[in-house]
A and B are shown apart, each in its own frame.
Chain A
Amino acid sequence: MTPSLPSRRRGFSLIEVTLAIGILGLAILSLVGILSATFSQVSEIMDTNRALAGVTRLIGALDNPRTIVFIPAGDTSSANTKFINQSGTVTPALDPAPGGAPNFDLTYRLLAPAKTTADAVWLYVYDRRTVGPDKAVVTTAGTDRYDIGSNPSSMEVAVVQGNNFTPDMAAQRNVIGSPMRVRITLSKLLANQRVTVDITTSEPSATRYVVGSALPTDPSLYGLAYLPVVAEFFPHDFTSPDGPTGFKTAEQTPLLIQNIIINR
């Protein structure tokens, strides 16, 4: 018997090795993908909690609208910031001369136009450091330095002209994390309510409110003791409000939806 020829076993080809490594890489990447999904959920939880804290602040701000700040379009300096009751901010003026209108009137004038999603009023709610980090860590005297150990934060509600809250604006105001963008529209609770006061009788007129229609411009002609609105919270990703990809028309799922009743 002649010895059989040794069998020829070839090694892995380059393609096989590449494929194997590719599959391994895919497996690792998918694992990392799962992890990143977990982290994005953590981030979402943080955002939702921030939105929950923002609800209380927003309600407080709508009850006291003179605490809402107004940021001009394209502003790059916080020096131009005013409050929305001041002249030269929201038009038409929320607190027309001689001024001193009740708080409800200001809020009403601000929110009454928000009859549909397209007409919604956008507000921004955010946490901000009291001063910039460079002002908070100095221990010696200075004209504009603050010996604040922890540099505490406070919450602010803002109206931005043109609704475009830019990263520059956020930096100017020492904003922590991502601000919340709040879309406010009139609530459907207004449906079939007699919302208009008849100026001849000073009684609510018989006409009933149809969802999507306009409310009286003058708060004194508004017939209810409260204004119900819906606030939808979105994380603000600094996208533009207008255009085909703008957030005004984009389909988004809000982090939080809150019904708010503003009392006279």
Chain B
Amino acid sequence: MARKVTTRRKLVMTAIAWVLGLMIFFPILWTFLTSFKTEADAIASPPQFLFFHWTLENYHEVQSRSDYFKHFSNSVIISFGSTLIGLIIAIPSAWAMAFAPTKKTKDVLMWMLSTKMMPPVGALIPIYLLFQSFGLLDSRIGLVMVLTLINLPIIVWMLYTYFKEIPGEILEAARMDGASLMKEIAYVLTPMAVPGIASTLLLNIILAWNEAFWTLNLTASKAAPLTTFIASYSSPEGLFYAKLSAASTMAIAPILILGWFSQKQLVRGLTFGAVK
């Protein structure tokens, strides 16, 4: 009897999971489909699901109106750059907090996380003015700096949880074996934490790639990443759903592919080191 219940439970759970999964995926699928419709089909009521006139016109149009590859390379530079710089800063700090904690370590961690609780718009004006006086507006270097700072607390937290899993005795062994602090971090800690560092890296690239608030507010054209590229299609002259969808599809495709190929690492990253 017990077995029967389990099977039914399993079926129900699977069904729920599928429904939820489809609900989450549906907007992306719809965007993808809409990108192949004509503008008229895109706003047709009732909406057409698959049986419409498939066209690549939107993609041509989008590419001719704006330079996709410029935005793409901006996105790559900004997200990879900010994540790498963040890691270089975060690895030693997470080391210190995980292996040489003081009474205040927990408070420092909490304080760093608390910066994520503040609405970013609260810091917009000071940062905008700073950018203005230092000539950083619409520059890739400026965006790299801002996104590094924005995501640093998350990077430190994630690495901290991973480093906590590494037995301290191994690092002590390295110290006994004559390794200096830098060598201990470079030859022992970092290689052991590679899975954790990899998932932190991936998650932060995705976060930085999708970051819209700062990228929209601090860029105009030169340094504009793909988020700005999408936004430029929801213009005051009216919404062009099909073109907007084509732009969105082009913007999310690279990160989706990256995410697909690194699923395993990502899941580990999202569960914050809870699973071994």
Tell me whether A and B are bound partners: no
Which chain A residues have a beta carbon within 8 Å of chain B's beta carbons? none
